């Protein structure tokens, strides 16, 4: 199940045992697992592997020195206290179905991670559009989905997507800029959570929700996401546009995962970009 690539390390025994025990629940993921004790970014490694790797190949790291989130932001990735995972996905090659699968991938993954955290740590995480999991308003986990560039893929095959996620597991001395905005499972539960168990549960949950996407069970994903995303309705937000800063109140998401915002001149549909969130409106 584990695979060695240049510079990789042997899979730790606890992870190897956890993968072996959960193998039947992980399909189509984790037939190949690459592990690094220290790496710049699991997404970067998965990008390099994508052209030749089988769909479902998993990259796991004990530490990232250049972990990142949306817009290139640094993802704090200290050793032995977080879960840092990337998956090589190869969704359908063409058509509207493929486009909807990729458009909902981050939302589906957010639902899956929240479900896995519930299973392993008995704590309910909320989802903040588009890619954060929070507890008590503090960030617990983040998701980064990236399409593989044409220079890094076989032009004859489907466009691979790298799905990366990081979860704060153990208590950390967070950098000052994160100390009032981040949290972790140990701080929230008062106990240590086994990273190996969390790793396989997240992969099993993402596998299940990915299969929902491929089977067209979009409503199940959207309903589950809405149930865990209180700020998707009634939260004050601002965002930058070429015409200047706009403001509005969140009004849910549409069937493609875009955020709907009630603004002065009607409902705006936001598919990307940077939002600033204010406290939820009463």
Read off the pLDDT of residues 197-224 as tens digits, 9 standing for 90 and up.
999 999 999 999 999 999 999 999 999 9
Q: Do domains 13-227 and 232-280 have the same CATH topology?
A: no
What is the domain partition of the chain in residue ranges?
A: 13-227, 232-280
Give me the pLDDT at residue 2, please. 63
Q: Which strands sit side by side in the sheet containing 33-36, from one edge to the other?
A: 33-36, 58-61, 82-89, 161-168, 138-147, 132-135, 126-128
What is the number of other CB atoms lying within 10 angstroms of the CB of residue 118? 15
Structure tokens at 35: 């592990």
Higher pLDDT, 171 or 279: 171
What is the number of other CB atoms lying within 10 angstroms of the CB of residue 6? 6
Please name the residue that has the structure tokens 């865990």: 228
Structure tokens at 210: 């990915």
Report d(CA 265, CA 221) in Å as an integer.
Answer: 30
Average pLDDT over residues 249-273: 93
How is domain 13-227 classified at the CATH fold level? BirA Bifunctional Protein; domain 2 (3.30.930)
DSSP conformation letters of 37-106: SSBS-HHHHHHHHTTTSPTT-EEEES-BSS-B-GGG-B----TTSEEEEEEEE---SSSHHHHHHHHTHH
Structure tokens at 247: 């403001």
Q: What percent of the chain has pLDDT over 70?
A: 91
Read off the pLDDT of residues 2-14 as tens digits, 9 standing for 90 and up.
666 878 999 999 9
pTM: predicted TM-score of the whole model, two decimal places: 0.92
The CATH code that applies to domain 232-280 is 2.30.30.100
Q: Lowest-pLDDT range, 37-51, 72-86, 239-253?
A: 72-86
């Amino acid at each position: 199940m584990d695979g060695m690539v240049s510079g990789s390390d042997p899979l730790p025994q606890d992870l190897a045992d956890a993968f072996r025990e959960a193998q039947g629940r992980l399909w189509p993921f984790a037939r190949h697992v690459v592990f690094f004790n220290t790496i710049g970014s699991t997404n970067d490694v998965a990008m390099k592997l994508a052209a030749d790797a089988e769909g479902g190949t998993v990259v796991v790291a004990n530490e990232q020195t250049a972990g990142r989130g949306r817009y290139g932001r640094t993802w704090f990735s200290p050793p032995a206290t977080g879960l840092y995972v990337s998956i090589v996905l190869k969704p359908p090659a063409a058509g509207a179905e493929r486009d909807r699968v990729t458009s909902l991938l981050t939302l589906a993954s957010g639902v899956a991670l929240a479900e896995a955290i519930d299973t392993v740590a008995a704590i309910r995480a909320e989802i903040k559009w588009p890619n954060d999991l929070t507890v008590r308003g503090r960030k617990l986990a983040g998701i980064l989905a990236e399409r593989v560039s044409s220079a890094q893929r076989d032009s004859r095959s489907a466009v691979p997507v790298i799905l990366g996620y990081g979860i704060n597991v153990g208590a950390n001395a967070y950098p000052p800029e994160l100390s009032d905005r981040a949290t972790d499972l140990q701080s929230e539960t008062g106990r240590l959570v086994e990273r190996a168990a969390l790793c396989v549960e997240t992969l099993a949950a993402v596998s299940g929700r990915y299969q929902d996407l491929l089977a067209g069970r979009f409503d199940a994903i959207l309903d589950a996401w809405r149930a865990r995303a209180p700020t998707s309705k009634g939260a004050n937000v601002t965002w930058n546009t070429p015409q200047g800063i706009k403001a509005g109140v969140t009004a849910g998401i549409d069937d493609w995962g875009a955020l709907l915002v009630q603004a002065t001149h009607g409902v705006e549909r936001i598919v990307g970009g940077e939002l600033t969130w204010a406290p939820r409106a009463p």
